[in-house]
A and B are shown apart, each in its own frame.
Chain A
């Protein structure tokens, strides 16, 4: 006992000593924390982009102007991608850090892996930071052709609904989950009776969401005059019930630009490209 105690003390001393030694030695060139590295990368990325933007705007008129501009654009993309790669790597090496959420959110050009999403679920499902990220993720997930990624994203959203302390964030995640169902349904509705059942199920989920989270601000609240999740979900539900792919289009009966009345169904029998446009 006595001996081992002494050995223990000695060890502590050695550790302390070397500890201090390293500290003193490293202080002038102290290693940056991952978060500091991340901040620096973001700063450098913005600075490099800004410089090239300035260069782009200052290209003088000449017969080569177009190719000059393209060259700068290409350089911009290359540089930007280099930074993005580094940021992604840093996030992957430090998935538990809070900056990883921001980093993943900024990398909209990159295909995330199911592992990335699993890490976000593991470390950040309870965080408030993910608010800005989840709908963006869902949009990407909906468009992906990678079923594993879709699964991982669904699981991530479900874990948020279960564990996040913020009601609005839970509501947004729930909304995104219903959107997933709509997307899957529109892609493959199945046979008639199956489709009917699934559509009813989706409508039920929309209504449940409206009931439970209707008063929370939607993700577009700032853009759309304080829109609530209830309002957004009602719009989406209406869209699903009346305007989804596979349904008969609603009739339009109105005047044309010259004031002549006509109906959309006047053109039944033809394929119609219906274009909501304006020349404003």
Chain B
């Protein structure tokens, strides 16, 4: 997960692309250490002290962790998956990012 995400950040650093997390750790102190260790540079919402039972994941009807969504430039859902499918995500991101830069 982290290595793939780090590689995406690097690959698309000059593109309109961002990773946003919704983090479900209960303990923010140890989480901050892990963020440091894993070089997680992207921003995350915090799902609150209930962890995986927090309000954001509840609102988003989450059935498993991790769950990934890809939203396009207009905020429209273009992909979702419970569990990580790196190949598929790469494909969609290529379509969205490389398609858009070629258009104009």
On A, residues with C-beta under 8 Å from B are 235, 238-239, 242-250, 252, 254-257, 262, 264-265, 267-280
Contact = CB atoms under 8 A, between A and B. Distances in A.
A246 B71 CA distance: 9
A275 B19 contact: yes
Given A243-B80, A244-B77, A275-B19, A255 B46 contact: yes
Contacts of B51: 278, 280
Given A270-B16, A273-B93, A277-B24, A257 B66 contact: no
A264 B26 CA distance: 21
B24 A276 contact: yes
Contacts of B69: 249, 272-274
A152 B2 CA distance: 41
Indicate the member of B19, B43, B75 with the most A CB atoms within 10 Å: B75
A127 B52 CA distance: 38
Given A254-B45, A257-B46, A276 B57 contact: yes
A269 B73 CA distance: 4
Interface string B53-83: 0011101111101111111111111111000
Q: Which 3 A-B pairs have the closest CB atoms?
A: A278-B24, A274-B69, A270-B16
A277 B43 contact: no
Given A268-B73, A271-B71, A278 B17 contact: no
24 contacts: A243-B61, A245-B77, A245-B78, A245-B79, A246-B76, A246-B77, A248-B76, A250-B60, A252-B45, A256-B44, A257-B32, A268-B73, A271-B12, A271-B18, A271-B97, A272-B17, A273-B89, A274-B69, A276-B22, A276-B57, A276-B65, A276-B67, A277-B24, A278-B66
A235 B82 CA distance: 15
Nearest to A234: B61
Contact of B8 (A254, A268, A273): A273
B73 to A, nearest CB: 6
B39 interface: no
Contact of B75 (A257, A268, A279): A268
Contacts of B20: 264, 267, 272-275
Contact of A257 (B28, B65, B80): B28
Given A264-B20, A276-B62, 4 more contacts: A239-B61, A243-B61, A274-B21, A278-B51
B24 A280 contact: yes
Contacts of A271: 12, 15-18, 70-73, 93, 96-97
Contact of A273 (B19, B59, B62, B65): B19
B61 A238 contact: yes
Nearest to A244: B77
A265 B74 CA distance: 9
A270 B18 CA distance: 7
A221 to B, nearest CB: 15
Contacts of B77: 243-249
Indicate the member of B23, B26, B62 with the most A CB atoms within 10 Å: B23
A273 B23 contact: no
A249 B34 contact: no
Given A257-B28, A269-B16, A274 B22 contact: yes
